[in-house]
Amino acid sequence: MLIFNHETLGQRVLFGSGKAAENLAAEVARLGAKRVMVIASEFEAPIARKVAAGIDVALDYDDVAPHVPIEKAEKARAAAQEHGIDLLVCVGGGSTTGLAKAIAMTTGLPIVAVPTTYAGSEATNVWGLTEAARKTTGTDNKVLPATVVYDAELTLSLPAELSVASGLNALAHCVDSMWGPRADPINQALAAEGIRALNAGLPAVKLDPQGLPGREQALYGAYLAAVSFASAGSGMHHKICHVLGGSWNMPHAQTHATVLPYVLAFNAPEAPDAAARIATAFGSDDAVQGLNNLRTVLDAPRALKDYGFTEDNIPEAVELILPVIPDSNPRKPTAENLADLLRAATAGATPGL
C-alpha cells in the first residue's frame, strides 16, 4: 500500500533568462511594497543594481557573511527596522538569502529572492544562524520567500569552478531528499528530475561557461532540488556539512560537493530503491558510479583537507554530528563508521572503490 503525507510550500516562481529586472519590478508592484531593502554582497552589488533598476530602493545593504553570524543578523534586523522596510529583496547566493531569512524570521517581512547561484535556499523554509562557531538550523514558514525570480543570465557571474561546487550542493539536496526524515514518493520524483537536469546542465556549464542552455538546466534542477529538500527535510549529508561549515568555517558549496559522494556510498547499499532512482537519473547502472562519473567530468572538489579540515578535527566532528543525524537514515551511523567516512572525505579517496 502507498501511504504517505506530503506538504507543498506555497511560493510564486518566475523563470526567464534576461527577465529578472522586469519580473522583480512587477512583483514589487503586485505586493504593494513602498520601502524595499535590497540585500546583496559587495561582489553581487553591480548585479543587484541592474536587477533593481526598475524599483525604488529605500536601503541597499551589503554586510553579508557565510553561515549568517548572529551579530550580522541582528545588525541587519536593526537596519530594516530603522528604515521602515516593508519588503526584502535578496540578490545573490545562499549567504545573501540566509541573511534575508534571518531578518524575516523576527520581523515577518516578505522576501523576493533573486538567486545567482544554485544554492537553493530561496525555495526552502530552512534558516541557519551561526553563534560561537556552532551553526543552528531550523524551519519556519515566515522565512520562505514569497517569490523567486530565476534568471540564468545572472548566474554568468559565477565562474565555472564555483558553478560546479554550487551545482553539486544542489545535487546534495536531491540525494538527501531520497531518505530525509519526511521523504515520500513526491519528494523522490522531484529529486530524481533534479538530478537528471543537473547531470545534463553542469557539464554544459563546464564546457561553455557563458552558454545559457546549460545554466538554465542547472537552475531548473537546483529549484527542483530545493523544493524536494524543503519537503523531505535535512538528512545525514546536510547534518555533516552544517557542522563542518559552522564549526570550522569551511566554504559552503565546496564542503557539500566534497562530502556528497561519501554519504551516498555510505547509504546506498541500505536504500536500494532510492539508489536505483538515483542511478537511473544519472543514466548509470550504479548510483555511486553515476555520481563519480559526473564528478570526474566536472573536476569536482575532492578532499576536505583542501579546505582546512584535518584528521585531528575528526573526533570532535564525530561528537558533534552523531547526535543530529536523523533516525530515518537508511544505515545506522556509529562513531566508528562516521569517522571512517570523514577520514575518506578528508583524504579525498574515491568513494565506492
Per-domain residue ranges of the chain: 12-155, 159-347
Give the separation between CA 347 and CA 336, rounded to whole angstroms. Answer: 17
Q: What is the pLDDT of residue 112?
A: 98
Residue 54 burial (10 A CB sphere; 0-12, 13-18, 19+): middle
Q: What is the chain's percent helix, strand, coil content, to nearest 5?
A: 60, 10, 30
Q: How far is CA 326 from the centre of its chain?
A: 19
**Strand 134-139 versus strand 126-131 pairing type:** antiparallel
Report the candidate in 90, 210, 209 with the shortest Cα–Cα distance to residue 147. Answer: 90
Query: Would the CATH topology of 12-155 be identical to that of 159-347?
Result: no
Strand ordering across the sheet containing 57-61:
12-15, 147-150, 111-115, 87-92, 36-39, 57-61
- Looking at the DSSP bridge assignments, the partners of residue 129 are 136
- pLDDT under 70 in the chain at which residues? 353
Give the separation between CA 337 and CA 335, rounded to whole angstroms. Answer: 6
CATH class for the domain made up of 159-347: mainly alpha
Cell 545554466 found at: 215
Give the separation between CA 133 and CA 140, rounded to whole angstroms. Answer: 22
Report the candidate in 279, 305, 309, 307 with the shortest Cα–Cα distance to residue 294. Answer: 279
- First-to-last alpha carbon distance for the chain, in angstroms, is 36
Domain 12-155: CATH architecture, name and number where available? 3-Layer(aba) Sandwich (3.40)
- Looking at the DSSP bridge assignments, the partners of residue 228 are none
Q: How far is CA 98 from the centre of its chain?
A: 10
Q: What is the pLDDT of residue 199?
A: 98
Rg over alpha carbons for the chain, rounded to the nearest Å, is 19
Give the separation between CA 157 and CA 91, rounded to whole angstroms. Answer: 12
Count CB neighbours of 272 within 10 A: 11
Q: What is the pLDDT of residue 353?
A: 61
pTM, two decimals, is 0.90
Find out whether 100 and 111 touch, Cβ atoms under 8 Å: yes
Q: Inter-axis angle of helices 287-298 and 185-207, to 10 degrees?
A: 30
- E strand or H helix at 147: strand 147-150
